[in-house]
Amino acid sequence: MTDLWRLPAADLAALIKSKQVSAHEAATSALARLEAVNPKINAVIDHRPEEVLAQADRTDAALARGEDPGPLAGVPVTIKVNVDQTGFATTNGLKLQKDVIANANNPVVENLVKAGAVLLGRTNTPAVSYRWFTSNLVHGDTKNPRDPSITPGGSSGGAGSATAAGIGHIGHGTDIAGSVRYPAYACGIHGLRPTVGRIPAFNAALPERPIGPQISAVSGPLARTVKDLRLALAAMSARDVRDPWWMPVPLEGPPLPKRVALCVNPDGLNPVPEVQTALRDAAKRLERAGWIVEELKDTPPMQEAAQLQTRLWLGDGYEAQLALAEKEGDPGALACLRGNRAKVHPFDLSQTLTRRATLTREWLMFLEQHPVLLLPVSGELPFPDQLDRKDEASFQRVWHAQLTQIAIPFFGLPGLTISTGLVGRVPVGVQLVSQRFREDLCLAAGEAIEAGGTPPSPIDPVS
């Protein structure tokens, strides 16, 4: 069984638990795949084969003793380079942090280890995880395995690229403005942004995060099947006392009718025809699966929420962030900060949080009536790579298209990207949003959409 790397995580874990294959064999297969394709895409920027095999051997030893190694027994997963992993640098795409070596795992990493996962490698991110493109001065550019001329997404572009190419069965990502959902969209896989407080997080190797990221940034999984997203979410979301925002909320909420609200053009996004077609195709798949789909003309405000989320994300400590980017010299980070200066500076935290309460209340009341919302991931198909650095018009085009990705974190809500197919060789997909801590509703609708098409499978990188 030399192609174990092709299997869904759930299937591989079952084979390892039943001792039909060993964790060592799975790790060997994953490492061979990494070595074969990573040079073409630069998705994984650090890995240690001997440590990977040692982790797998510990899983096999636990099974030999009759112990249960966990739901992800022996499954190779990747970790984004902006979270702590013991013994590795938490660079977050920065030369300035190449010597910031973690002495302890971030809670999400620790939870994956406790669930039996094998940590395969560290995945790339843009400098400071600012962009929807993945390049930096310390690790280089990550390519999209489906088409190197388009972005692999960002900031979890390494995770998206690796997972699409069969490097690991689950990719860890983080999301404050689309950084899980957009790489999944751009690489043609699935990606879940959970509710704030669902998955614990803390980087002991770095200073405490400002309040904006604390109340809107999350870790989440990328995978090739919805079933694997479920498995990863359950593993990642275990309690860790180090995160004061973590909430002990069940993964499954009370049953609700199978109803979805479709909004093709939320708050003036004006998506391109290919995105509209993908949304209507997803709606038809849901209807064939027994869901009732109601089309809405609009949602509660998103444009204002996106502007305020940008302010909350980049405005708190703006001058210090700009100074860091200037010292690093990263052109993408500088373009992000300089291009948004008028939106975020000067920064008024009290005013921003006060308005956040009002807008969030409006959204929570809306979702009480429409528990699952189907809407675009982006207003466009995945962008040409590095489009945001081309000129001012292109920069503004990128930020406008990402409206829904930026707005949803402002409310702390879960969002799920489901890949629905290809336009030529360019991926397209849709986004599902639900009430707080109702990832289960997003995943249920996502499974129906996935089942109505062809689920993503690992691909060989295209030249």
- Model confidence over 312-362: pLDDT tens digits? 999 989 999 999 999 999 999 999 999 999 999 889 999 999 999 999 999
Q: Which two tokens stand for residue 4?
A: 């174990």
| Element containing residue 45 per DSSP (H, E) | strand 44-46
Write down the pLDDT at residue 318.
94
- Taking a C-beta distance cutoff of 8 angstroms, is the pair 97, 207 a contact? no
| Element containing residue 408 per DSSP (H, E) | helix 403-410
Nearest to 386 by CA among 332, 322, 336, 333: 332
* SS3 (DSSP) at 428: strand
List 150's β-bridge partners, or say none.
384
- Taking a C-beta distance cutoff of 8 angstroms, is the pair 108, 83 a contact? yes
Write down the pLDDT at residue 230.
98
Write down the pLDDT at residue 50.
98
Pairing between β-strand 372-375 and β-strand 259-262 as defined by DSSP bridges: parallel
Q: DSSP letters of 330-370? A: -HHHHHHHHHTHHHHSS--HHHHHHHHHHHHHHHHHHHHH-
The Cβ of residue 8 has, within 10 Å, a number of other Cβ atoms equal to: 20
C-alpha to C-alpha distance for 392 and 395, rounded to whole angstroms: 5
Q: What is the mean pLDDT of the chain?
A: 97
- Model confidence over 283-323: pLDDT tens digits? 999 999 999 999 999 999 999 999 999 999 999 899 999 99
C-alpha to C-alpha distance for 178 and 415, rounded to whole angstroms: 9
Q: Which two tokens stand for residue 66?
A: 């009759």
pTM of the model: 0.98
* List of domains in the chain: 4-451 (3.90.1300.10)
Q: Phi and psi (nearest 5°) for 126? A: -65, 165
Q: Is the peptide bond before 8 cis (omega within 30 degrees of 0)?
A: no
Catalytic residue annotation: 80, 155, 179
C-alpha to C-alpha distance for 158 and 262, rounded to whole angstroms: 31
Write down the pLDDT at residue 454.
87
Which stretches of the chain drop beneath a pLDDT of 70?
A: 1-2
C-alpha to C-alpha distance for 234 and 229, rounded to whole angstroms: 9
Q: What is the torsion angle, in degrees rounded to the nearest 10, for the CA atoms of residue 177, residue 182, residue 183 and residue 186?
A: -160
Write down the pLDDT at residue 1.
56
